[in-house]
Structure 1
Amino acid sequence: MTATAALATPRARRAWPRAAARVSPAALLVLLALVGPLLAPHSIDKPVTMAYGSAGGEAPLGGDQLGRDVLSRLLHGGSTLIGSALAVAALVTLLATLSGCFAVLSPRLGRLVERTADTAILLPPVLGIMLLALAWPGGGRRAIVVAATLLGTPYATRIVAGAAAPFAHSGFIEAAIANGERTWRLALRELLPNLRSTVLALFGLRFVEAVYIISMAGFLQLGPQPPEADWALMIRENSSGILLNPWAVVAPALAIGLLAISVNLAAETLAPGHRRKGEPR
């Protein structure tokens, strides 16, 4: 074993508890959201208290505007939000990674990507989502996922292209081009392995953005519709009674914020080459 490897092993062991501590909150929140419907003590549409009933008894977090159990609706409302956000993040990251890698290898495609991204950035996200969601037949959550994917891909492509540009002009790419390698092989076999950190960080950021976009759409009632249990919809429905039962609004708002922060922190920690500030190299 070399001296470098011998030093790296203890460092990796010391870093593992830190990484686990930073990833665990996101994993626990996602797991809780996925199994939440199985843990809910009541049905999401069954009144158990008076309107905006206080916390206690059969309703640990009180009741909502119709007397339904806030805790039960909170446990039901996370799985669809996480699933939609994961779908948006995965689609945007995949499309942006592929188009970004090809864009730096093709000047014509690169110019097209740059102009498309500039146009998409000028369009206010809320307006774009509203137009696409209202134009989509039937609207609903699927329309929000499509809108968030279409609006998020151009800017994400520019990020990937910017990270891939230095590698596109490096010696190993020029050597591969001289050997007659095709563009798709250059993009997938030469560029992509060098962008793992960027891609993972991009996925985390896109997930956070998707959570906020889908939550915003739910608050505007462009996605899920009553009586569906949804965190953003819960905030909108119960905002008028926040002084009567604050948990009906505070609990879903905290869930959205904690989910976004913890997942972003986990993605940053899992990114290759991540180091805490001041950690030895």
Structure 2
Amino acid sequence: MARKTRDVLSVEWVRLELLRTAYSTRGGVFARMDPRMVLAWYLLAALAPWFTHNLTVLMILFVMGAVAVVLARVGPLVLGLFLVGLIGNAVGLFAAAFVFGGDLGTLVALGELNLKLGAVSMASMAAFVSLEPEQLSDALLALRAPELLAFGVSYGYRMLPILVDEYVTVFDGQLLRHAPVERRGVLGWRVILRWSTLAVTAFYPIMLNTAKNVRTTVEALETRGFTYGAHHRAGRTLRLAYLKVTSWDIVVLAGSVVAVVLAYWTGAQFPIHR
């Protein structure tokens, strides 16, 4: 059991999970959709919670977000970070309200805020975990977003595995060059302090390597005519030719619209009063 836990929490596992998340290798319902329709679904799911204070509607939208996360097959790393953040934020806000004399109304208002943030966060996970870098970039380009924005999104995703690999290499090199601590201390605090220090200092060489990679990539792209191809109409048409809205896209988006409307109708019929 201890060995399995150590394998799951290793740096290599985190790196692989980040790559699976960035490159949408798990599949799911939204991965089969046109990227433009995925962005439309995301706008619907992300904006719907902010137009109401009805707790019934917010709870339904929160459940819908959880269902979307399951259908999108979000990985355990991202889901775990989301749960830790959401629970930590809720506990912190409730503790602050209690310390500064908040009443039941304050707790309900904070609960409403956490429901909204949770629903929007789950919609974000479901949408962007299902999009590959090229798909997201092409969807932004098709929606007339600036060419540099579309390129920046694609480039950021492409640089992610390189940065992770370089960070792991630098971190392992620093571990080999530093002698282990002589005494672990209570609960191994000296070991934790050493690892934390090395984890922070490992970022400095990464900054220099990133600057070198950016320059090399920009020069390679300009040599291949990236700027011209992004602005030229024929180049854009050729690049975006594979985008096609199918009946599956329409069914998913229409079903989501109906679900949001039903959530608001249910909230109007069965409101939860503060």
TM-score normalised by structure 1 residue count: 0.30
Larger RCO (CA within 8 A; separation ≥ 6): 2
Structure number having the greater helix percentage: 2
TM-score normalised by structure 2 residue count: 0.31
